[in-house]
Amino acid sequence: MEMSNTLESEVRYYCRVFPDVFVKAEGSHIYSESGRAFLDFFSGAGSLNYGHNNPSIHKAVMYYLKENGIICALDMNTEVKLKFMNEFNETILGPRGLECKFQFPGPTGTNAIEAAIKLSRKITGRKNIFAFFGSFHGMTLGSLSATSSLRYREASGATLHDVTFMPFPEGFMSTFDTIKYMEEVLTDSHSGIEKPAAVLLETVQAEGGVNAAPFEWLVKLRDLCTRHEIIMICDDIQVGCGRTGKFFSFEHSGIKPDIIALSKSISGLGLPLSMLLIRKDLDAWSPGDHSGTFRSNALSLTGALAALEIWKDPGFEKSIGKKSEKVESFLSESFKSMSPRVEIRGLGMIRGVSISGNDGPEIAAKIASRCYDNGLILERAGRRSEVVKLLPSLIIDDDDLYRGLNIIKQAVIEFA
Ligand SMILES: Cc1ncc(COP(=O)(O)O)c(C=O)c1O
């Protein structure tokens, strides 16, 4: 820890929140140098939906390395890239009626968002983007311009522009007709707000505090985008790849976005990879318009290809549904009548325990810290970090799931 304090920039964050040195990880457990075992409800901020070092994905990646498979090839055609696109088409897109082109931008989530914003502007010739109150889309300047946190925006030291924030249907805006408002903004020639190229959306705002948009709201938003010829971008970076119970988070509402951004769990093993799925007729890029050295990294794609095998078993999606029900009923039974200050949110296997009131953030911090002391890793989210966020792996067994839930319950009882 002392070495980290001396050598690493003050910008470091998670090493302050989880003050141990970690060496090993398997399934839902991570192990520190000192020999402590932690149960992981953080899952690399949503990058480890299949658990740490999932055996079948790990095996495929190890084999690829052993055979000297090409690793860095930018977007040259590698065998694994072609196989992945083909398999993804057959396993994920086809059955869901989606016809898309693949784009592999640089390897992190923010690269995918940058590309989606640029492409939408290129297609429509418009500059503005609608993003939402409470949104989080990444830290590079384009994505940050669509990220609502004033603190993060200020840290850019630059003018972030060409984005207009619209109200998201949660919290104090949950009773406000946000769709009607957008409709008025778009049709009133004196709204002062330019028609956007795209609406950039998280169906469940994860960093924003686990705010799930109502399904009927998503349907209305899709309709609004279609009628006004605005591109709908779904940022499924944190809540895609099965996190909400279906491969894509928007499937629950039956809508189809025009562009989908994926990263985090897409590589299966936590290796860096991101991609855009672009509705076929919207692929307006010219060769080389958007590049990135580490795009379509072959080792990450090897993991991603192996992860698709898991989705071939129809029992997998059902098993996420069953686990989600267990989490939901545990949380509602534990906290429903406990205190009006404790609110449960979320969808599928992303859940939030929100503590309202002025001291909500302080209490949430105490809860997270007590969980850590008791061997459970999780993080906080929300405007004031007042929400304890639960992201267990999708393959966690019942014993570990209930053990983690009970650690949270005890901490909430103690402090809230
Ligand atoms: C919804 C969402 N979009 C974009 C990003 C940015 O991804 P990255 O940190 O890999 O750039 C994140 C990261 O947490 C995210 O949750």
User: Tell me: the pLDDT tens digits for 365-390?
Assistant: 999 999 999 999 999 999 999 999 99
Measured in angstroms, how far is the CA atom of residue 334 from the centroid of ligand 1? 31
Give, in degrees to the nearest 5, the angle at Cα 191 between 185 and 197.
55
Question: Band of the pLDDT at 416, cuts 50, 70, 90?
Answer: confident
- Ligand 1: atom nearest CA of 263 is 10
Average pLDDT, the chain: 97
- Going by DSSP bridges, is the β-strand pair 129-132/204-205 parallel, antiparallel, or unpaired? unpaired
Q: How do residues 287-321 score in pLDDT, each as one tens digit?
A: 999 999 999 999 999 999 999 999 999 999 999 99
Q: What is the mean pLDDT of residues 225-244?
A: 98
Residues touching ligand 1 (Cβ under 6 Å) are 45, 108-110, 113, 136-138, 202, 206-207, 235, 237-238, 263
Measured in angstroms, how far is the CA atom of residue 241 from the centroid of ligand 1? 14
CA distance 309 to 288: 32
Measured in angstroms, how far is the CA atom of residue 163 from the centroid of ligand 1? 18
User: What class, spelled out in words, does domain 58-312 have in CATH?
Assistant: alpha beta
**Domain spanning 2-54+317-415 has what CATH number?**
3.90.1150.10
Give which of 365, 370, 381, 373 is closest to 42, Cα–Cα. Answer: 381
Q: Choose which residue among 132, 145, 233, 264 to substitute to test ligand 1 binding: the one with the highest number of ligand atoms within 8 A of its C-beta.
A: 264
Question: Band of the pLDDT at 336, cuts 50, 70, 90?
Answer: confident
Q: What is the pLDDT of residue 56?
A: 98
List CB contacts of 115: < 8 A, sequence separation 6 or more.
103, 105, 276, 290
pTM: 0.98
Measured in angstroms, how far is the CA atom of residue 271 from the centroid of ligand 1? 14
CA distance 174 to 160: 27
Q: What is the pLDDT of residue 86?
A: 98
- Report the 3 state secondary structure along the chain: CHHHHHHCCCCCCHHHHCCCCEEEEEECEEEECCCCEEEECCHHHHCCCCCECCHHHHHHHHHHHHCCCCCCCCCCCCHHHHHHHHHHHHHHHHHHCCCEEEECCCCCHHHHHHHHHHHHHHHHCCCCEEEECCCCCCCCHHHHHCCCCHHHHHCCCCCCCCEEEECCCCHHHCCCCHHHHHHHHHHCCCCCCCCCCEEEECCEECCCCCEECCHHHHHHHHHHHHHCCCEEEEECCCCCCCCCCCCCHHHHHCCCCCEEEECHHHHCCCCCCCEEEEEHHHCCCCCCCCCCCCCCCHHHHHHHHHHHHHHHCHHHHHHHHHHHHHHHHHHHHHHCCCCCCEEEEEECCEEEEEECCCCHHHHHHHHHHHHHHCCEECEEECCCCCEEEECCCCCCCHHHHHHHHHHHHHHHHHHC
Q: What is the mean pLDDT of residues 74-88?
A: 98
CB 298 within 8 A of CB 70: yes
Q: What is the pLDDT of residue 1?
A: 78
Q: Whose CA is nearest to atom 13 of ligand 1?
A: 138
Q: Whose CA is nearest to atom 4 of ligand 1?
A: 137
Q: What is the pLDDT of residue 338?
A: 83
Q: What is the pLDDT of residue 162?
A: 98
Residue 2: pLDDT above 90? no
- Ligand 1: atom nearest CA of 113 is 4
Q: Whose CA is nearest to atom 8 of ligand 1?
A: 109
Q: What is the pLDDT of residue 3?
A: 87
Q: Report domain extents, the chain.
A: 2-54+317-415, 58-312
- Ligand 1: atom nearest CA of 135 is 1
- Ligand 1: atom nearest CA of 108 is 10
Q: What is the pLDDT of residue 298?
A: 97
Q: Choose which residue among 43, 108, 110 to substitute to test ligand 1 binding: the one with the highest number of ligand atoms within 8 A of its C-beta.
A: 110
Measured in angstroms, how far is the CA atom of residue 249 from the centroid of ligand 1? 15
Measured in angstroms, how far is the CA atom of residue 202 from the centroid of ligand 1? 11
Provide the β-strand partners of residue 100: 279
Residue 339: pLDDT above 90? no
Q: How do residues 259-283 score in pLDDT, each as one tens digit?
A: 999 999 999 999 999 999 999 999 9
CA distance 148 to 156: 13
Residue 176: pLDDT above 90? yes
